[in-house]
Amino acid sequence: MAIARPALHEGTRPRGVYTRHDIHGDTVLDADVVVVGSGAGGSTIAAELAEAGFEVVVVEEGSYYQTRDFTADTSAMVRQLYRDGGATMALGTPPILYQEGRAVGGSTVINGGMSWRTPDKVLQRWEREAGLAGITRDLDEYFTRVEKRIHVAPMDPDVIGNDNHLLKKGADAKGWNIIGNLRNQNHCAGSNRCAFGCPTGAKQSALVSYVPRALHYGTRIYADVRVDAITRHGKRATGVIGTVRGTSHRITVRAKLVVSACGAIHTPALLARSGFKSPSGYLGRNLSMHPNVKVVAIFDESVANWKGAHQAFQVREFQDQGLVFAAVGMPPSVLAMSFPHRGQQLGTLMDQYDHMLLAGMLCEDTATGRVRTIDGKPQAFYQLAEADAANLKRGVSLLSELLFAAGAKRILLPFHGAPDLYGPDDARRLLDQHIPAKGWEVVTVHMMGTARMGNDRTRDVTDGFGLVHDADRLMVADASLFPTPIGVNPMETIMALATRNAGFVIDNAKRFLS
Amino acid sequence: MSYRHSATGRAVLRSLVPVICPREAFDLADAIVDHMALTLGASPSLLQKGFAAGLLTYDLGALPRYLCRARALHGDKAERYYASWEHGPTPLHTQFARAINQLMSLSCYEMPQMMERVGYRPAPFIAEVTQRRLTVYRDDVRKQEAQILAPDPLRPNVRIGKRMRAS
């Protein structure tokens, strides 16, 4: 029998936050701007517009939690903060498990907090290929603004854990470029719980930065409301209509501008089920995922991967080749879940948990997938490209070499049925092995590109400020906008683009308020 | 969303605890199976239905070979039957066996006794580092909280008022 647990968000809430407990019937609201989603894009644009004097309503499907609600109960956090309990899957070979936050603050509540500007080479590509002239220069001031707001800073050295020290030791031994990660944190305490809601309040997720700012300037946030559709009059978006989760109560928001900021999976689905069909045919297409794989290295010494700052370093030696490495601490339950072992084999392996280092790798992908809207719901399809699979294999080999250089004695690989590695020669031999695509265990948290921006209406879904081509008063402000994958963690890029979009709305306020 | 194991599902999962979990967890079988229901409760409904159907199929699938349902198998027989799915005749068998393994392993190591066994004690550690941060960096913490709310308009010369809205 399932054990009932109380909802975590019950308690005092700041003014302006409404949850399902506050909504007792059908409700109609009026606003200048309605924003769907409260993550990196939604909370940022809401805060900027609210401060400029716009009346803003944010509608968020997830619940409202506060820092004190984030506990050491890993699976409770996953159930409450992750869409579908973290069990969403892009179909393909191999299927790719992807994770999205579903809470006020969106995925910023559960991400690692890596805060990197879009690389110049990527922005220059956007200028060339998407016709976004000047965006490299334009974004500079917005990055600076975002970094101040979410307190992007290097880590305090005293909270860097042994897993990250070992990663650095290995990179230094190989002579590879490794840098301290910039993260949105204010004296990170090193609890290594970033992925389950920061329990110390140090991570400056949208929940503790842009959301309070938006509320301070008058934004109203309706949590626990799933937006069913954007309402429209011809090509003009006129608001949204949604349902309060767990009830049949309807919420209608009438607004002069609708901003979709519910991520690269849900934005195209929302637009599609609302009848906005991009004439480019690219709505939902161009899905990039930054495929991630991980290896587990076992050391003789204690690693205690769960103590210390999450991903304090990044190995950038192979960034030009689309590969970035980091150490990511995880609770034993999550690691146990990822092993194919069972029974006493699992027990023997897990008894070495204290000696395990989990290292992950981000791959800048060349393949693109698609989000289809089936019965109103999004389903992602993504086929790992052969070139990307080869790059992942090379990355696993290199990362394993690094970990052996750091002193690892054994490495477990992210392929089904793969033998463990016991030395750098084993790691190098990996390159000669054929690993079928179906054998890979791939996950991701970076979904991008499904409503890409650009000036060509025949291939782009929105213009350079996120306004949907061939629609009126409809804007996108999330990672859907990226014309290409960016090769680094996307949060800061999303926030900078959302700030830039907000600037465009403020500069053209009369147009949007008429 | 909530999910309850059927009687069959519960019995099958209960019988699989000795197959998938280490022996230290055998006494926690009921709690592990309860925990799996919580995890499934947060997952998509299609997955819940598929899992429930899979458990029923798994249970009945033992009949031709063992003349009893899977839930009644013990020891080597339970082990061999699970292995026959793990390396199963179709990808569906393999995927389902893997799904059970993943869910049960997750729940197994969410048990406080198992976390303690591997030396994972996050709650006191979180309390300790939180307190330290608030003590050592109190001023910086307050400064950032103030910065978050301080006026800093994106377009300093523009303020959208009722007049503009009305126009």
**With contact defined as beta carbons under 8 Å apart, do A163 and A358 qualify?**
yes
Quick one: which of A66, A108, A73 has its CA closest to A200? A66
Whose CA is closest to A36, among A240, A329, A180? Answer: A240
Residue written as tokens 């409760």? B41
Chain B residues near residue A201 by CB distance under 8 angstroms: 130, 141
* pLDDT of res. B167: 63
Contacting residues of B for A145, CB less than 8 Å apart: 154
- Catalytic machinery residues of A: 446
CA distance A303 to A329: 10
Give the model confidence (pLDDT) of A80-94 as tens digits: 999 999 989 999 999
Q: Report yes or no: A409 and A303 within 8 Å, Cβ to Cβ.
A: no
Residues of B in contact with A16 (CB under 8 A): none
ipTM tops 0.90: yes
pLDDT of residue A196: 97
The answer to whether the Cβ–Cβ distance between A342 and B117 falls below 8 Å is no
B149 in A contact zone (CB under 8 Å)? yes
What 3 state SS string does A2-19 have? CCCCCCCCCCCCCCCEEC
**How much is the pLDDT for B1?**
58
Is B4 exposed, middle or buried, given 0-12, 13-18 or 19+ CB atoms closer than 10 A?
Answer: middle
Give the chain A residue nearest B118 (alpha carbons). A351
CB pairs under 8 A between A and B: 203
How many of the other CB atoms lie within 10 Å of CB of A436? 12
Virtual torsion, Cα B98, B101, B106, B109, nearest 10 deg:
-150
Nearest CA in chain A to B137: A187
Domain A157-185+290-364+385-439 coded CATH 2.20.130: no
Alpha-carbon gap: B66 to the closest alpha carbon of chain A (Å) = 22
Q: What is the mean pLDDT of chain B?
A: 94
Q: Which residues contact B55 (CB under 8 A, 6 or more apart)?
A: B5, B6, B8, B9, B12, B13
Contact A331 B38 (CB under 8 A): no
For residue A332, the chain B residues in CB contact (below 8 A) are 109, 114-115, 118, 120
Write down the pTM of the prediction: 0.95
What is residue A7's predicted lDDT score, i.e. its pLDDT?
37
- Closest Cα in chain B, distance from residue A480 (Å): 23
**Interface touch A186/B137, C-beta < 8 Å:** yes
User: What is the C-alpha to C-alpha distance for residues B25 and B113, in angstroms, rounded to an integer?
Assistant: 8
| Matching residue, tokens 């204690």 | A302
Read off the tokens for A164. 């990250």
What secondary structure letter does DSSP report for A440? Answer: B
CB contact under 8 A, A159 and B129: yes
pLDDT digits (tens, 9 = 90+) for A147-175: 999 999 999 999 999 999 999 999 999 99
- Interface mutation target, options B92, B94, B120, chain A, most CBs of A under 10 Å: B120
Q: Is B110 on the interface with A (CB under 8 A)?
A: yes
**Are A353 and B158 an interchain contact pair (Cβ–Cβ within 8 Å)?**
no
Contact A333/B21, CB-based, under 8 Å? no
Residues of B in contact with A339 (CB under 8 A): 105
What secondary structure letter does DSSP report for A272?
H
Which chain B residues touch A32 with a CB distance below 8 Å?
160, 165
Cα A444 from chain centroid (whole Å) = 9
CATH among 3.50.50.60, 3.40.50.2000, 3.40.50.2300, 3.30.1360.80 for A17-82+101-109+195-278+451-513? 3.50.50.60
Hey, is A31 helix, strand or coil?
strand
Q: Do domains A17-82+101-109+195-278+451-513 and A157-185+290-364+385-439 have the same CATH topology?
A: no
Where do the structural domains in chain A lie, given as residue ranges?
A: 17-82+101-109+195-278+451-513, 157-185+290-364+385-439
Q: How far apart are CA B43 and CA B1, in angstroms?
A: 8
Listed as ranges, residues in chain A with pLDDT below 70 are 1-11
Q: Is B155 on the interface with A (CB under 8 A)?
A: yes
Q: CA dist A237 to A59, A467, A473, A497, B90, Å? A: 16, 11, 6, 21, 48
pLDDT at A438: 80
Contact yes or no for B151 and A51 at CB 8 A: yes
Give SS3 for A413: coil
Tell me which residue has tokens 């979709």: A260
